[in-house]
Amino acid sequence: MIRLILDRLGHLVLVLWAVTTLTFLLFRLMPGDPTLNFLSPSFTEETRTALLHSFGLDKPLWQQYVIYLGQLAHGDFGMSFLQNEPVSHILWAALPNTIVLTLVSLCLAYAFGIVAGAFLAFRRGSAAEAVAIPAALATRAAPEFWLGMLVLALFAFQLGWFPTGGAVSPGGTLGSLGARLLSADFWWHLCLPCLTLTLFLQGLPLLLMRATMLEVLNDEFIVMARMKGLSRWSIVMRHAARNALLPVVTAFALGLGASVGGNVVIETVFAWPGIGRVLVQAVQGADYPVAQGAFIVIAFVLVVMNTIADLAYAWLDPRVSVGARR
């Protein structure tokens, strides 16, 4: 197991280095000049040159890369071109909003998916299954922006139950993370993006749990439980469901990492001040340091969650670690 952990940590470091390098090259080699977004055409060439020098963009590419890696090693993402403040401050202000949205949505989606998947497996061939499976497939296949537009049109514009976007009402401030979590206004604004993301995510755990349950229900220990005269609820929840949860738990860890970076569309539709929306705005404004920092944070969360899922699977199923040693 120790060898497996060291091997996965080595992969994690290698992947993060590759992501940081590709991110650096992507924004440096793409067409466009970041100074055009905040310099007036009336400014002289000397002013533009001085601005490039202040951001270190006048140095050779390899020197910029060395400086970039040195800053990252100290947790320094640089200064924002457009906002003129440390990138870390911008990212740490947005990241909690993304994490709250992702965690709440994932917990709701997987709680519903696990229970519904176990029920549908036990009631295979019923009318409920004939309705639930196409509905789960439809929400999973539908584009996120389309689901978001439907939710907005119904609950915000037509019924007027929820705000159309943002995380606070006009004139309000987000405050600290604790203040946000204790704010009813914050949770009120969270409802629609959370509902949209939950609808999009619930299809995977539901279908995965159902498929795994169908395999488990044919195992010998389930037949033995039926012969003992145990109730249906006990057989499904206490025996079959517990043994079918392994792939679902793995999918949850992977889904957490993927959703942190995959919420860009939902955060844009609902103007949710998360890291995905920060990334979109940085790319549109050619704010290289912010875009690079957002990419790195998203990649870090994704790689770390993949590593945790891999190690958790090996811990829950020792055959994985044995296979790795072989």
d(CA 96, CA 175): 11
Per-residue pLDDT of 163-186, as tens digits, reads 887 777 776 677 777 777 777 888
Closest CA to 196 of 240, 152, 242: 152
Distance CA 74, CA 315 (A): 33
> pLDDT tens, 247-296?
777 777 767 766 776 678 888 888 888 888 888 888 777 777 888 888 88
According to DSSP, the residues that pair with 79 across neighbouring strands are 86
Instruction: Give the SS3 label for residue 86.
Output: strand
Model pTM score: 0.75
CATH number of 91-325: 1.10.3720.10
At 47, is the pLDDT very low, low, confident or very high (cuts 50, 70, 90)? Answer: low
Average pLDDT along the chain = 76
Q: Where are the domains of the chain?
A: 2-73, 91-325
Q: Which of 173, 190, 31, 232 is nearest to 101 (CA)?
A: 190
DSSP designation for 39: S
Give the mean model confidence (pLDDT) for residues 37-44. 59
Is residue 316's pLDDT more than 70?
no
pLDDT band of residue 121 (cuts 50, 70, 90) is confident
- The residue with greater pLDDT, 313 or 117, is 117
Higher pLDDT, 123 or 299: 299
pLDDT one-digit tens code per residue, 193-235: 988 888 888 888 888 888 877 777 666 666 666 666 666 666 6
**pLDDT confidence of residue 251:** 75
